[in-house]
Chains A and B, each alone.
Chain A
Amino acid sequence: MSDFVPAGQITEARQALDRLRANMRVTIRGKDDVIDQVLVCLVAGGHLLIEDLPGVGKTTLAYSLARSMDCVFSRIQFTSDLLPSDVTGVAIYDETVKEFVFKKGPVFANVVLADEINRATPKTQSALLEVMDRARVTIDGEAHAVGAPFMVFATQNPVDYEGTFPLPESQMDRFLMRLRMGYPESNDELEILRTARGGYDAIALNPVVTRSEVLALQSLAHEIFVEDSVLEFILKIVAATRTEADFRAGASVRGGVALRAAAQARALVNNRDFVLPEDVTALVAPIFTHRLGLARQTSDTLEERRAVTATLRRIVASVPVPG
């Protein structure tokens, strides 16, 4: 970790992020905090899990991000009969060249929307999750790199659990953050009602950021300075989740690293070249809620998430903020 980031790079990053933010606000109305969190996830190079009811704008969010970025966007609707090769691609025998040729699946894109990920069988889920982790697809011993940047938006419906295969906690860990969209404010919704047209192709957005700029942002985020006391703050929060009686198990080491990386990204998104404790506190819930399970039984995922979030808030309030 180099000690500091040149101010020029911060300014450039700030301009790029401002352009992105402004562009996304055109289609995602009244959800500035969600946009910021998506940007944090993008800059941190992580994947996003959006848990919400259908029709609140999950796909629009992913689509508008992809469009703003001069990126390849693809969407996979997960169903119970979806096969892994439907996600990753398949090697097909080509008569003309007399050998197997790899046909790339939808996962070969920069922004992939995995809709209703919990509807697919675990086998298909794990195929996607492997790609998320390794950023490459291995078919017949041959590695094929997916796009760069590579970001998966996975959605799942937290209420309707009929005929689903819930993701186990270990796989939940692969998602950097978990978001809820929520309903928009009434005047925002009024505006949506007034302007929205059916179909995603109707979303007319011009790319404002190049792929290389995104990659530069991502590498810049790693250079953001984290002071020792902030690292200790993260450590204490992680340790507190491990001793918390409400949780089945505490946050993993990867969870701690994710919190640090996300805090760095949030600092960059907020035009800072150093991490504040508030970066950490703001991200504890999005980073940890889906990674932690309650020790007691709950009726559905939504309730569990709410309880986990409340406990996390209590933990954050109890750990002394470095001052």
Chain B
Amino acid sequence: MDPAKLEHPTPGALAARNERPNSETDRSPVQIGQFLAVNSASHKRPQLTLDELLQLKWLLGGVLTLLGVWTVFYMDIDAWTLMALTTVATLAVLIRPTLPARVPAFVHLLAFPSIVTFFIADLWLTTEVLPAMVRLDILLLLYRSVSYRQRRDELQIIVLGLFLIVVAGVLTVALTFAAQLLIYTGCALAFLLAITLTDSTAGGRAGGVIPNAALPEADSARGGKDNAHHARTVPPGWAAHANWGQLFRRLREVTDWRVVLLGGLLFAGVVGISALLFLAIPRFQLENSMFLDRFISKKAKSGFNDTIRFGDVTEIQQDTSVALSVDVSNQAQIPATPYWRMLVLDQYEAGTFKLSPGLRRQEFGIARTGSLLRGEARPRLGAATYWTFYFESGVSRYLPLIGQFGELRFREAQNFQLAADLAIVALRDEPVTMTAYRVEGFDPFGVLPDPKFAERWRKREQAAQPLLAMQNRPVARGSERETLQRLVNEATGGAKLTAAAFVPRVGAWLRDNHRYTLAPRVPDGAGDPLVRWLNSREDGHCELFAGSFVLLARVAGFPARVITGFKGGTWNAYSNNFTIRNSDAHAWAEIFDETSGAWLRADPLGVSAGGQAEEAKGAAALAGRMDRSWGARLDSLRVFWYRRIVSFDQRSQAETLKAVKEATQNSGRRLRAAIERAAATLKAWIAEPWDARRLAVVLGALAALAGLWWLGRKFGRAGWRRLVGGHSGRHGDPVRREAGQWLARLREPAHDEGRMTNDEGARVVADLQRLRFGARATWPEPERVFRRARRALREARRQQRAENRPLRS
């Protein structure tokens, strides 16, 4: 035998090459099998393995647990320890998925009895059902997060988390609820998808291929308590070599972005349809008092209260969160510097101003329940201005108002008390949700007429008791009173002034002696702190200024009181509303003017009643308050939420629908007008005399159109295919798919025998087969082949008809 033959590859070696071209090594059948499997999948998108799916499921379960548990942040429920514990545990098992295996077996044995015991004890001790249920829910989540989950446990996590989110959302109506619900829903859907994928992947392989420990579900499916027990104490295969970075890389690799896009669009569509339903279904009023109780909402870190200690308002000022959003129907009515009054404090005692019980008794009416209340202001001429307030929860139970009002309407019925003369409205409880109310006929000037007090002031000599607004009890002591008297004289120059003149004079004197600061220092020493401060030249904050002013005014013989609330605010340029933050909290004074029988605003640090007129008003003033920051964009979202979702009542529903109708009608009208205009222009253009240049332009345009059409026909579909068919997905390459469809049509019995055997038919079929099954690089131009196929099919059908006709006749 010729030795040269030995250099040729032998059939055996060629047989080896069957298994893998260009490979010189022999392969065992198992390797061949792997190669076959890999090869058949090599042109397809890679898929997650079972281990990776289980890992992904673990991750999503952890995220859902965290999302659910974190609702505690805005519920007023004592579950912080549990929340923190669950958060830590979930994060720990996310980082090290082998940890749950270390949980001793007796924990699993005792888990449910102890959780039930805890719940019963909790209920017994606190006698509050909902908080106990929330704590139970968190406890269950905690347990679920530290043990390997079977499928029903996975579903339990979704339900438990959903309970927390819905409870927190319904009870607080916060914007966060919407965001959290959306994120939660998205995560839950992904979670369910992962569960389904895991099941189908695990189901595809018969049992035995997957080791027991790798798949707790498989264990439970096979039943047996021992198995389940085993699954809990031995870390499953995926957990032993879990690598998050690797998982994320793989996720990015296997994600088909078109599917993600489609899923996203579907999700957005569902949200959109829900929004439409929300828009369309009839409104009905849920009475606020029905089931909302104040046990669950988060309280603000600070808040306005009946008593104000020095520093309280300043403390509130540290908080920059939104306290109040106000819609104003007529911007011209907005004062340059609005003062949002909330509470009147008349009694001073040892450094503390408070609402005296006497004033409370005297001014606050009986508690009422309802949604409408009438104020003291008389309606004025001209169009009414509506002020819609969206008052955040956790600020105060006293509603911010600008002054006397004509009518105040709550969105939902409330329990409230009205102090008509003080122009103060107090809710029975601090609201747990955002409170919306609309005010009509505001008297937005710094003057508050009070005829009853004027009457009492006139008759003060006959009164048995000193007037409430004059109760300066601790300062009544000799030395301090003398000090104050001396300071009043110093401020006024000893002249006897009217209240209107007293305000600017003393305000200026205070500002000359003290500067404004957020970190004041009250000098040490004995006696009243406010007098000590007044007597020094230390810097101070608004409460010190306002309090001092009230003391001085009272010593000078004017009734005076401290007012707390907000001053100013910003104008949100995106949603066109006032935004008042907690940092706008302010304290100022009011002083009684005998001549007009009204209380005058006296703000030693800003605009007093007299100065109001000189300041710019309305839109001009708003220009200075414009807020176009990113924070304002977020706040506008919040206002949208309040205006269009939370406070979406029948009236706003009607308004919205009307606006939509008008917008549709208008756009239709505009479109018709535009078409008519275009038609008229065209007619005029055609009517003009024709010359060579115009003809050339028209012909050129036609040629360009024809060229575009030709280009589109030639490359359009191919380009589209390239765009959508980057690589073969489940249904394969679009060209292959279309070629397959043409082949099937040509193969139909009616067109098969005899008709496709002509040369052109055979050639078309061969080309289609090449497009369907051939290598891409050898493809003829698909569009042309498809056109020929269309022609061949038509031809075949024509022939068939021609043959059938004689038969029928």
- Set of chain B residues within 8 Å of A135, measured between Cβ atoms: 10-13, 15
The 8 Å CB contact of B773, one of A145, A148, A150, A275, is A275
Q: Which residues of B contact A3 (CB under 8 A)?
A: 775-777
Q: Which B residues are in CB contact (< 8 Å) with A95?
A: none
Convert B10-44 into 0s and 1s, putting 1 for each residue whose CB lies closer than 8 angstroms to a CB of A: 11111101110100000001101100100110011
Q: Write the chain A residue with the least CB distance to B34.
A: A253
Contact B773 A276 (CB under 8 A): yes
- Check if A148 sits within 8 Å of B775, measured CB to CB: no
Of chain A, the residue at the smallest CB distance from B31 is A253
A227-B774, A257-B18, A258-B18 in contact; A134/B32 too (CB < 8 A)? Answer: no
Separation of A4 and B741 alpha carbons in the complex (Å): 23
Is B29 within 8 A of A232, CB to CB? no
Q: Kindly state whether residue A59 has any CB partner on chain B within 8 Å.
A: no
Contact of B11 among A4, A148, A252 (CB under 8 A): A148
Cβ distance A125 to chain B, nearest Cβ, rounded Å: 17
- Does B801 count as interface, using CB distance less than 8 angstroms? no
Those of B682-707 within 8 Å (CB) of chain A? none
**Residue B5 at the A interface, CB < 8 A?**
yes
Over the window 245-285 of chain A, the binary record of Cβ atoms lying under 8 Å from chain B Cβ atoms (1 yes, 0 no) is 00000001110111011000000000011111100000000
CB distance from A2 to the nearest CB of B (A): 8
Given A273-B774, A273-B778, the answer on whether A227 and B13 have CB atoms closer than 8 Å is no
**A4 x B12 contact (CB < 8 A):** no
Question: In the complex the two chains form, is A276's CB within 8 Å of B769's CB?
Answer: yes
A222 within 8 A of B: yes
Assuming the contacts A231-B40, A273-B778, asked whether A222 and B8 have C-beta atoms less than 8 A apart, the reply is no
Q: Indicate whether A29 reaches chain B with its CB closer than 8 angstroms.
A: no
- Known A-B contacts A135-B13, A145-B5, A228-B732; A274 and B740 likewise in contact (beta carbons under 8 Å): no
**Residues of B close to A273: CB separation below 8 A:** 774-775, 778
Give residues of chain A (134-157) contacting chain B, Cβ–Cβ below 8 Å: 134-136, 145-151
Contact across chains for A228 and B44 when beta carbons are under 8 A apart: yes
Within 8 Å of chain A (Cβ to Cβ): is B728?
Answer: yes
- With a cutoff of 8 Å between Cβ atoms, the chain A residues found around residue B33 in the complex are 253, 256
Q: Chain B CB within 10 Å — which of A7, A223, A225, A277 has the most? A: A225
**In the complex, chain B residues whose CB is within 8 Å of the CB of A1:** 21, 39
Report whether B12 and A150 are in contact in the complex, using a CB–CB cutoff of 8 Å: yes
B residues 731-777 touching A (CB-CB < 8 Å): 732, 736, 740-741, 743-744, 769-770, 772-777
Tell me whether B1 is interfacial, beta carbon within 8 Å: yes
Q: Which residue of A lies closest to B9 (CB)?
A: A148
Q: How far is the CA of A136 from the CA of B736 in the complex (A)?
A: 43
A44-B14 Cα distance, complex, nearest whole Å: 9
Interchain CB contact under 8 A, A136 and B773: no
B21→A323 contact, CB < 8 A: no
Task: Indicate which residue in B1, B32, B769, B772 contacts A254 across the interface (CB closer than 8 Å).
Answer: B32
Instruction: Point out the residues of chain A lying under 8 angstroms from B5, CB to CB.
Output: 145, 147-148
Any B CB within 8 A of the CB of A293: no
In the complex, chain A residues whose CB is within 8 Å of the CB of B769: 272, 274, 276
In contact, B774 and A215 (Cβ under 8 angstroms): no
Q: Which residues of B contact A212 (CB under 8 A)?
A: 8
B38–chain A nearest beta-carbon distance, Å: 11
Q: A146 near B10 (CB under 8 angstroms)?
A: yes
* Inter-chain contacts of A258 with B (CB < 8 A): 18
Whether, in the assembled complex, B6 has its beta carbon less than 8 Å from a beta carbon of chain A, the answer is: yes
Q: How far is the CA of A218 from the CA of B18 in the complex (A)?
A: 10
- Give Cα distance in the complex from A277 to B736, angstroms: 14
> In the bound complex, do residue B36 and residue A227 qualify as a contact, i.e. CB atoms below 8 Å apart?
no
Contacts of A286 in B (CB 8 A): none
Residue of B nearest to A264 (CB): B18
In the bound assembly, the distance between CA atoms of A150 and B10 in angstroms comes to: 7
Q: In the complex, A150→B773 CA distance in Å?
A: 31
Say if the beta carbon of A219 comes within 8 Å of chain B.
Answer: yes
Chain A residues whose CB sits within 8 angstroms of the CB of B21 once the complex forms: 1, 222-223
Contact A45:B728 (CB < 8 A) given known A274-B773, A323-B744: no
- Report the bound CA distance from A64 to B462 in whole Å: 144
Please state if B6 and A145 are interface contacts (CB–CB under 8 Å): yes
**Bound-complex Cα distance A134 to B9 (A):** 11
- Take A3-B777, A136-B10 as given contacts and tell me if A46 and B40 are in contact as well, using a CB distance cutoff of 8 Å: no
Complex-state Cα separation, A46 to B11, whole angstroms: 8
Q: For residue B777, which residues in chain A have a CB less than 8 angstroms away from its CB? A: 3-4
Partner of B775, one of A149, A218, A274, A322: A274
| Residues of B with C-beta under 8 A to A4 | 774-775, 777-778
Interface centre among A1, A108, A277 (most CB of B within 10 A): A1
Contact between B29 and A252 (Cβ–Cβ < 8 Å)? yes
Separation of A229 and B5 alpha carbons in the complex (Å): 38
Chain B's nearest CB lies how many Å from the CB of A53?
28
Chain A residues lying within 8 Å of B14, measured Cβ to Cβ, are 45, 218-219, 222
With A104-B1, A227-B774: A232-B40 Cβ-Cβ less than 8 Å: yes
Report which residue of B14, B21, B741, B778 has the largest number of chain A beta carbons within 10 angstroms of its beta carbon.
B14
Asked if A167 is at the interface of the complex by the 8 Å CB criterion, the answer is: no
**A276 vs B736: C-alpha distance when bound (angstroms):** 13
B11 cross-chain contacts in A, Cβ below 8 A: 45, 135, 148-151, 218
Q: Is A133 an interface residue (CB 8 A)?
A: yes
Give the Cβ gap from B6 to chain A, nearest Cβ, in Å: 5
Interface status of A230 (Cβ within 8 A of chain B) = yes
Residues of A within 8 A of B9 (CB): 148, 215, 219
Interface centre among A218, A227, A232, A252 (most CB of B within 10 A): A227
Q: How far is the CA of A322 from the CA of B32 in the complex (A)?
A: 24
| Interface flag for A209 (CB, 8 Å) | no
B40→A227 contact, CB < 8 A: no
- As a 0/1 sequence over residues 6 to 48 of chain A, the CB contacts with chain B under 8 angstroms (1 = contact) are 0100000000000000000000000000000000000011100
Tell me the minimal C-beta distance from B7 to chain A in angstroms: 9
Q: Is A240 an interface residue (CB 8 A)?
A: no
Q: How far apart are the CA atoms of A256 and B39 in the complex, in Å?
A: 13
Contact with B along A187-220 (1 / 0, CB 8 A): 0000000000000000000000000100100110
Q: Is A82 on the interface with B (CB-CB < 8 A)?
A: no
CB distance from B545 to the nearest CB of A (A): 82
The reply to whether A228 and B10 form a contact with Cβ atoms under 8 Å apart is no
Contact of B732 among A145, A229, A277 (CB under 8 A): A229
Contact of B12 with A133 in the complex, beta carbons under 8 Å: yes
Q: Is the CB of B773 within 8 A of A227?
A: yes
Residues of A within 8 A of B6 (CB): 145
Please indicate which of the listed interface residues B11, B17, B770 has the most CB atoms of chain A within 10 Å of its own CB. B11
- A257 to B231 CA separation, bound complex (whole angstroms): 39
Bound complex: CA of A111 vs CA of B163, how far in Å? 78
For B43, give the chain A residue with the smallest CB separation. A228
Distance, CA A256 to CA B30, complexed state (A)? 12
Beta-carbon contact of B736 and A148 below 8 Å = no
A222 lies within 8 A of B17 (CB): yes
Assembly CA distance A36 to B13 (angstroms): 24
Q: Which residues on the B side are within 8 Å of A145 (C-beta)?
A: 5-6, 10
A147 to chain B, nearest CB (A): 6
Q: A residues within 8 A CB of B773?
A: 225, 227, 229-230, 274-277
| Contacting residue for A147 out of B1, B13, B19, B43, CB 8 A | B1
Q: B228 to chain A: closest CB distance in Å?
A: 31
**B764 CB, nearest partner CB in chain A, Å:** 15
Chain A residues, Cβ within 8 Å of B18: 44-45, 222, 257-258, 260-261
Q: Which residues of B contact A274 (CB under 8 A)?
A: 769-770, 773-775, 778
> Which B residues are in CB contact (< 8 Å) with A272?
769
In whole angstroms, what is the CA distance A258 to B16 when docked?
11
A307 at the interface (CB under 8 A from B): no
Q: A45-B18, A273-B774, A323-B741 are in contact. List 14 more A-B contacts (CB 8 A).
A: A3-B776, A104-B1, A147-B1, A148-B5, A218-B11, A219-B9, A222-B14, A227-B773, A228-B44, A231-B36, A253-B36, A256-B36, A257-B18, A257-B36
Q: List 10 A–B pairs whose Cβ atoms lie within 8 Å, in order of A's numbering.
A: A3-B776, A135-B12, A145-B5, A212-B8, A228-B43, A254-B29, A273-B775, A276-B769, A323-B740, A323-B741
The 4 lowest CB-CB distance pairs between A and B, nearest first, are A135-B12, A135-B10, A4-B775, A274-B774
